[in-house]
């Protein structure tokens, strides 16, 4: 019985030790007695990537040039470059005094034509009565009927002329057709614009969410790219910032540059679009599939020129081990070659501590 209890105690202690070792492996960097911290490569599911370069550009239809339907003097200009506007906001106003004068003229003409039509009506009705009594020739009554129709037609034309002037009056205020940002202003207050042949451009508005990324994917990789694939990209202005996007469309026709066949892949940009500007160059990675990979945190990877390596903890000086890296995802990097899960990898901040340790 005593021997049986001894076996149970030994097995229990061994189980606790194994559990503690497993927890230490999974809970993060393990501190050594001298303060150094190590970590082990772990396996996880990562996406297969297609790498390419691209350019940020404006979507088709996202840039609107706003002009004037009327000729005249710019009375007010309410925007400058960089101003944000909403659809319907008044951008500028043309001096409306000539339009108001035309409107008054048409109103006066309407009054004259109304009076003429009324006079023609009275004359025709009188002629009808006289003609029915054979007091005037029938031809005279017919002429008066035609005169009434002409007077009524002139009156209707005057009403239409007034409507046309009122339409022009509505163009006095130049309003923003879309919400967005003013990209350029091509006129100033007090200038005279002429809209005889073409509407002069007052301002250019770039709409909200107007940018997209167009990547050039090599013909050897295009078969793996599909609509809806997630995309991660960086630009030179923000090299440490990862922007996100989704593949929106793939051009059916190739673009050949210097004999290299590429296909345009249009990518819809996710958040942080306001940081980007048209014509920026981007380096992008399209996630096309998933696979199991051996990974290390980015803080464990070192670079020296073109070589990528890690430091392994040892009794003496650190062991520099060259590695071949793959995809990067959520702060970890795929290790294709160079280490195994059993290797004790030093984190980057421990390199100085390890390098300063004298060899035993």
| Extents of the domains making up the chain | 27-60+209-360, 63-95+172-207, 96-168
Q: How high is the pLDDT of residue 146?
A: 93
The whole model's pTM is what?
0.53
C-alpha of 77 from chain center: 28
State the DSSP H helix or E strand holding residue 312, giving kind and residue range, or none if neither: strand 307-312
Q: Domain 27-60+209-360, what fold?
A: Elongation Factor Tu (Ef-tu); domain 3 (2.40.30)
**Residues of the chain where predicted confidence (pLDDT) is lower than 50:** 1-27, 33-34, 350-360
- How far CA 305 is from CA of 99, 302, 325, in Å, comes to 71, 10, 14
Q: For 124-175, give the DSSP string.
A: HHHHHHHHHTTSS-HHHHHHHHHHHHHHHHHHHHHHHHHHHHHHHHHTSEEE
Q: What is the pLDDT of residue 199?
A: 61
User: Distance between CA atoms of 129 and 141, rounded to whole angstroms?
Assistant: 9
The full DSSP string for 220-234 is TTGGG--TT-EEEEE
Q: What is the pLDDT of residue 6?
A: 44
Q: Is residue 17 helix, strand or coil?
A: helix
Task: Return the closest-CA partner of residue 217 out of 43, 60, 49, 10.
Answer: 49
Q: Which fold has domain 63-95+172-207?
A: OB fold (Dihydrolipoamide Acetyltransferase, E2P) (2.40.50)
Can you give the pLDDT at residue 197? 59
3-state secondary structure at position 86: coil
Judge: domain 96-168, CATH 2.60.120.200.
Answer: no
Contacts of 320 (CB under 8 A, 6+ apart): 309, 310, 311, 312
Identify the DSSP state of 329.
E
């Amino acid at each position: 019985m005593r021997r049986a209890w001894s076996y149970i105690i030994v097995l229990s202690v061994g189980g606790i030790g194994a559990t503690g070792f497993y927890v230490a492996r999974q809970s993060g960097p393990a501190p050594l007695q001298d303060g150094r911290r190590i970590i082990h490569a772990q396996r996880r599911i990562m996406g297969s990537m297609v790498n390419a370069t691209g350019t940020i550009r404006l979507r088709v239809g996202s840039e609107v040039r706003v002009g004037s339907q009327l000729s005249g003097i710019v009375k007010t200009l309410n925007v400058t470059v960089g101003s944000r506007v909403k659809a319907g906001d008044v951008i500028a106003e043309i001096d409306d005094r000539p339009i108001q004068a035309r409107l008054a003229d048409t109103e006066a003409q309407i009054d004259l034509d109304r009076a003429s039509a009324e006079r023609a009506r009275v004359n025709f009705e009188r002629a009808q009565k006289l003609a029915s009594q054979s007091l005037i020739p029938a031809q005279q009554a017919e002429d008066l009927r035609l005169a009434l129709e002409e007077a009524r037609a002139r009156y209707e034309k005057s009403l239409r002329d007034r409507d046309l002037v009122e339409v022009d009056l509505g163009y006095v205020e130049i309003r923003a057709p879309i919400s967005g940002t003013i990209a350029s202003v091509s006129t100033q207050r007090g200038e005279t614009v002429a809209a005889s042949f073409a509407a002069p451009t007052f301002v250019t508005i770039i709409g909200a969410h107007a940018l997209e990324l167009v990547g050039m994917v090599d013909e050897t990789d295009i078969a793996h790219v599909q609509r809806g694939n997630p995309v991660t990209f960086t630009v030179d202005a923000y090299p440490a910032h990862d922007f996100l996007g989704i593949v929106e469309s793939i051009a059916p026709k190739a673009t050949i540059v210097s004999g290299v066949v590429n296909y345009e892949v249009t990518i819809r940009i996710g958040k942080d679009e306001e940081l980007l500007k048209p014509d920026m160059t981007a380096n992008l990675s399209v996630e096309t599939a998933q696979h199991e990979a051996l990974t290390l945190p980015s803080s464990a990877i070192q670079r020296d020129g073109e070589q990528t390596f890690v430091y392994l903890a040892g009794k003496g000086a650190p062991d520099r081990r060259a590695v071949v890296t793959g995809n990067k995802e959520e702060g970890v990097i795929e290790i294709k070659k160079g280490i195994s899960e059993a290797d004790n990898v030093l984190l980057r901040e421990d390199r100085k501590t390890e390098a300063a340790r004298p060899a035993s």
